[in-house]
Chain A
Amino acid sequence: MVLSPAVPEPEPDAPDLDFRGSRRLAGKEEWFWYLAAAVSYITLSIWHKFLLNWFVGPFWLVAVVIVGPAIWDRLRGWGRRR
C-alpha cells in the first residue's frame, strides 16, 4: 500500500502566505494599510492636483498595500534579530 506523506499541521502563528510566498492581509491590518493609502493620497492630492488621475490613484493603493507590509515585516524581523 502506498501512503501519501504526512501533511504537517500548520503552526498556529504561521502567516497566511499566497502563491508567491507573500503574506496575505486580513482584518484590522488590511484596513490599516488601505486607510494609510487613502489618507496619504488624499492629503497629498489636495495640494498637488496632478496626482489625481486614473494612473497615479490606483498605482498608489497597489504600491502602499504591497510595499507597506513588506517594509513592516523587514523592520519587525530586524528588531527581533537584535
Chain B
Amino acid sequence: MSWAAHQFEVYAVQAHLPKKMRGKVSFWGIFLGDFTPDFLSKFWVYGITINGRHYGAEVPHKWHRGWPGMGVTHTLFLGALLAGAFWLWKRNRAFTVGYLLGYAAHALTDVNDSVGTILLFPFSALNWSVQTWAYAATIEGGKYLDAAAYYSSLGLMMDLFWLAVVLVSWRVLTRDYWRTQIVPADARVWAWFARFLPERGLLALYRATFFYGVCRMISWSVWAHLIEHYPYDLSWTGPFWIGARSLPHVNPWIVAPVTLALLGATYWVVSKLWEPMGRAEKRRARPASPAAG
C-alpha cells in the first residue's frame, strides 16, 4: 500500500487537470475519491485488539486487495459506479469528475506494491502488481511493521516522487490558487466552512492533507530509522527483511503500461463527458420556464 503518496496525489491531480477543467473540478471531490478506497477497506486490515483478543481480517492483504474481499474498493469499476451514482443523484459535474479522478489516482497508485489491485474487475479477479515494494500489513506486525517496511523500501521513493510532483506545481498550495481555482469550484462547501472558520483556517484546511502527508512521512521515517533502526533496502520488492505478501497476479511487466493506459483512458472519458455533463447540469439547474400564453 502507499502511505503519504495518497495525500500528495490529491494536489497532483488538482494541479494537472485538463485546461478546460481548471477551476471547475471540486477539490473535495478529488479528496473524497482518493480517500474512499482505504476508508472502506483499511479499518479491518490492522483490526483492533481488545483484552488480548484480536478483531480483524484473518488474511489482511487478501481482505484489503483480493476477491472475494474488499479488493473491489480499489478498482476503477467501483470508482466509476460511485461517481455515476452521485451524478445521477445530484447532477454535480465538479464533484463527480473530481471524485472519479481521485478514486482512479488511488487505485492506480496501489498497483505498485507486491499485492496490487484487481484492476480489471469485474472482468478478471487477478491482481495487477508492479511489485515495486513489499506489501507488509500482517496481523502480528500490525501498522508499525507495515510502516517500517514501507519507509525502508521503494515505497519511500513513491512518497518522495509524489511530493516532488506537488512541489514542482507549488502554486497549487498558494493562497491565490486557493481563492481563484479551489473556492469557485466548491463555493457552497467553502461557504459552509466559513461559518465556523476564519480565512486563515479555511486556507489551512485546504493545505491540511498536504501537511498531514509531509508530517506522517517524516514521523514514520524518523521512528523507523532513527529510533527502531530498521535497515533500508531500496531493491525491487524490498525490504529483504520482510516476506512480501502476494496474490495470484498477471505478469508484472504488463502492469505499468496497462495502468498508464487506464489512467489515460480515464482522463479521455472524463474529457469527452465534460461538456455533455455541463449541459445536463445546466438543464437541471434552470428553473422551469413559465407556460406560454
Chain A interface residues (CB < 8 Å from chain B): 18-20, 22-25, 30, 34, 37-38, 41-42, 45-46, 49, 52, 54, 57-59, 61-62, 65-66, 69
Contact = CB atoms under 8 A, between A and B. Distances in A.
Given A58-B205, A61-B212, A66-B200, 12 more contacts: A19-B194, A23-B200, A24-B199, A38-B214, A41-B219, A46-B222, A46-B223, A52-B215, A57-B211, A62-B205, A65-B203, A65-B204
24 contacts: A19-B194, A20-B198, A24-B199, A24-B200, A34-B204, A38-B211, A38-B214, A49-B143, A49-B223, A52-B216, A52-B219, A54-B35, A54-B212, A57-B211, A58-B209, A58-B212, A61-B207, A61-B208, A61-B211, A61-B212, A62-B201, A62-B204, A66-B197, A69-B200
A1 B284 CA distance: 45
B179 to A, nearest CB: 11
Nearest to B39: A54
B215 A41 contact: yes
Contacts of B220: 52
Interface of B: 35, 143-144, 194, 197-201, 203-205, 207-209, 211-212, 214-216, 218-220, 222-223, 227
Contacts of A30: 200
B198 A18 contact: yes
A22 B35 CA distance: 31
A22 B200 contact: yes
Contacts of B203: 65
A50 B69 CA distance: 27
Contacts of B223: 46, 49
B199 A42 contact: no
Given A38-B215, A42-B219, A62-B197, A49 B204 contact: no
B200 A65 contact: yes
Nearest to A44: B219
Contacts of A25: 200
A34 B200 contact: no
Contacts of B216: 45, 52, 57
B155 to A, nearest CB: 16
B211 A42 contact: no
A54 to B, nearest CB: 7
A57 B199 contact: no
Contacts of B215: 38, 41-42, 45, 52, 57
A62 B143 CA distance: 26
Contacts of B199: 18-20, 22, 24
Contacts of A23: 200
B278 to A, nearest CB: 30
A68 to B, nearest CB: 10
Contacts of A66: 197-198, 200-201, 204
Given A45-B215, A57-B215, A18 B208 contact: no
Nearest to B201: A66
Nearest 5 A/B pairs, CB to CB: A57-B212, A22-B198, A58-B208, A18-B199, A65-B204
Contacts of A46: 219, 222-223, 227
A65 B90 CA distance: 34
A18 B175 CA distance: 13
A54 B120 CA distance: 29
